[in-house]
Amino acid sequence: MRRKKHVQHDYLKQETGGWKKKWKDKLPVALIFPNVYQLGMSNLGFQLVYDLLNRDPEVVCERIFFPEDSAHPLSVESGRRLRDFPVVFISVSFEDDFPGLVQLLQKAGAHPLA
């Protein structure tokens, strides 16, 4: 089965200051912003956490934003799914982002406990 082109991956071509690290022998961390890329990257706190985590040589931190299409949320840097990350950090700046967080987690296959 052929994988659909990863739309968010195209943002890496347009930005400066992004990190692209190899996963071998590193702790993968997903940094989630439950809104679109443009809003997440305008958040200085989100950018600071992303940079601080990636400065650690033992960590690879990749960003996940609310998908602009109906696809699964994928990391910007490598196109990996949320389930590939053993550690997840979430940045919620506004109460209005909580429904987006729930939707993002459901799209990623993390359903609430019954």
pLDDT 10s digits, 22-52: 889 999 999 999 999 889 989 999 999 999 9
Confidence of residue 69 (pLDDT cuts 50, 70, 90): confident
Judge whether 75 and 63 are in contact, CB under 8 Å: yes
DSSP state of 41: H
Q: What percent of the chain has pLDDT over 70?
A: 81
Q: What is the largest CA-CA distance in the chain?
A: 42
Based on the number of CB atoms within 10 Å of its own CB, is 101 exposed (0-12), middle (13-18) or buried (19 or more)? middle
The model carries a pTM of 0.82
Confidence of residue 71 (pLDDT cuts 50, 70, 90): confident
Cite the DSSP H helix spans in the chain: 11-14, 37-41, 44-55, 98-107
